[in-house]
């Protein structure tokens, strides 16, 4: 809910697409910088306790944001700081959540807690960029994020200025992305393997087209 509400709040307060980008950047850059180290630390710590701590901190962050809004004293710098906090929390929450699911369905393996942090980080990076399927997926994900994910940051602008709608229009547009993800999820069991270049390329084409279309809209800028 916060991921949907915060961009709309920013645009409602300022009407600035630039500040939408600033807030989006503040929420994503911590995850980009911290996630590699957080993934190594998650292997060392109890994933259950990491998830518990991340959820508690996220709840506190949400309470602070709600109090500032209800008190009528919310400022843009408050939102930027809270976005950075949430981004740091997600850097630990996401890898812990994904690996915790694997722990629940597979037998746990003994972790080497005596190994060095930076050694594990280097091994992980070497494996990621040394194994072609994973390397290609990472590079393609970077391309998709660069060209296509800007639509979610600028969606309040499209909903209000181009479609002349309100918060309900914005919510509908964001929900459409979830519908697409749900539709493709139903098709995944039919694929013989997840790593199929043809399916990945088919998914990238509309993402790149969306990025180009977003950049070509003069009303957004």
Identify the weakest region by mean pLDDT among 25-34, 117-126, 166-175, 199-208: 199-208
pLDDT for 162: 85
Distance CA(185)–CA(201), nearest Å, equals: 17
Among the residues of the chain, which ranges form H helices?
Answer: 2-14, 17-44, 47-71, 76-105, 117-130, 132-147, 150-157, 167-187, 197-215
Q: Please give the Cα distance from 201 to 151 (Å, whole number).
A: 19
Among the listed ranges 82-91, 116-125, 188-197, which one has the minimum average pLDDT value? Answer: 188-197
Cα dihedral 99→204→210→156 (10° resolution): -10
**pLDDT value for 165:** 86
Mean pLDDT, residues 19-45 taken together? 85
Q: Which of 147-151, 155-159, 160-164, 174-178 has the lowest mean pLDDT?
A: 147-151
Question: If you average pLDDT over residues 44-52, what whole number do you get?
Answer: 86
d(CA 97, CA 151): 26
Residue 53: per-residue pLDDT: 92
Mean pLDDT, to the nearest integer, of 66-88?
Answer: 92
**Confidence band (pLDDT; 50, 70, 90) for 211?**
low
Sequence ranges of the domains in the chain: 1-114, 131-221
Q: Residue 61's pLDDT band (boundaries 50, 70, 90)? A: very high
Can you spell out the DSSP letters for 122-185?
Answer: HHHHHHHHHSHHHHHHHHHHHHHHHHTTHHHHHHHHIIIIIS---HHHHHHHHHHHHHHHHHHH
Residues contacting 76, CB < 8 A, separation 6+? 10, 13, 14, 19, 23
Distance of CA 134 to the CA centre of its chain: 19
pLDDT greater than 80 at residue 199: no
At residue 188, the pLDDT reads 62
- Which of 20-24, 104-108, 121-125, 136-140 has the lowest average pLDDT? 104-108
> How many angstroms separate the CA atoms of 35 and 42, rounded?
10
């Amino acid at each position: 809910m916060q991921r949907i509400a915060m961009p709309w709040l920013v645009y409602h307060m300022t009407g600035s697409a630039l500040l939408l980008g600033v807030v989006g950047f503040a929420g994503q850059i911590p995850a980009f910088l911290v996630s590699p180290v957080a993934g190594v630390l998650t292997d060392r710590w109890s994933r259950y306790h990491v998830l518990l701590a991340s959820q508690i901190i996220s709840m506190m962050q949400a309470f602070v944001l709600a109090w500032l809004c209800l008190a009528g004293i919310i400022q843009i710098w408050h939102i930027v700081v809270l976005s950075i906090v949430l981004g740091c929390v997600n850097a630990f929450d996401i890898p812990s959540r994904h690996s915790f699911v694997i722990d629940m369905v597979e037998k746990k393996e003994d972790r080497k807690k005596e190994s060095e942090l930076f050694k594990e980080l280097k091994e992980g990076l070497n494996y990621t960029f040394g194994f072609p399927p994973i390397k290609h997926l990472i590079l393609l994900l970077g391309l998709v994020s660069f060209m296509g994910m800007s639509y979610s940051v600028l969606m309040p602008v499209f909903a209000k200025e181009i479609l002349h709608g309100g918060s309900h229009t914005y919510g509908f547009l964001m929900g459409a992305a979830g519908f697409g993800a749900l539709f493709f999820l139903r098709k995944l069991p039919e694929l013989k393997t997840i790593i199929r270049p043809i399916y990945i390329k088919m998914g990238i084409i509309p993402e790149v087209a969306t990025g180009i279309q977003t950049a070509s809209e003069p009303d957004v800028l």
